[in-house]
Amino acid sequence: MEHTGNKYVKRAEKHYSISFKLAVVREYEETRTSLRALQRKYGIRGNSTVKRWIEKYANFDLRNRTCAPMEKSREQELRELREKVRHLEVRNARLEKELEKKEVKAGILDLMIEMAEKEYRIDIRKNSFPGQSTDTGRRKP
């Protein structure tokens, strides 16, 4: 808590998603940007927040400053798998909706073709048989 005059104001804590934390850690691993720079770039409060995330989620030893990958804890693996499952579920739901829209559109177009064929008494759909020639009409001299 911070002291202002005679009143105490509760410090506002900001919670970050696992995916955000992992993205910041990944950026640190790939670019070796300083912790302070990452903190400023993403508006992360707390001087040791990014460092704790790196200690918890990174694939290397921060204390020894070595790039040798460390084993992931079961907790970290579980978090990563849960995040991946959540991401895949969202993607699957989006793709299912897209498929449903495409199927509806195909049905409507099919109905329009049927109506046009009946109305104008012409075959719009061409039947292609395996033995049918694909020559466009141009002949070799």
| Residue whose entry in the numeric block shows the structure tokens 């070595």 | 66
* Of 10 and 114, the one with more pLDDT: 114
**Top-ranked range on mean pLDDT: pick from 7-11, 48-52, 113-117:** 113-117
* Model confidence pLDDT, tens digit, residues 6-32: 554 444 567 888 888 888 988 888 888
| Residue whose entry in the numeric block shows the structure tokens 């506002």 | 12
Q: pTM, whole model, 2 decimals?
A: 0.40
Report the b/e string of 30-51 with b at 16+ CB within 10 A: eeeeebeebbeeeebeeeebbb
Please give the pLDDT value at position 93.
96
Q: Are residues 58 and 97 in the same domain?
A: no
Looking at 49-53, 58-62, 90-94, which range is the least confident one? 58-62
CA 54 to chain centre: 22
Q: In this structure, is residue 61 part of a structural domain?
A: yes
Q: Are residues 82 and 63 in the same domain?
A: no
Domain that holds residue 60: 15-70
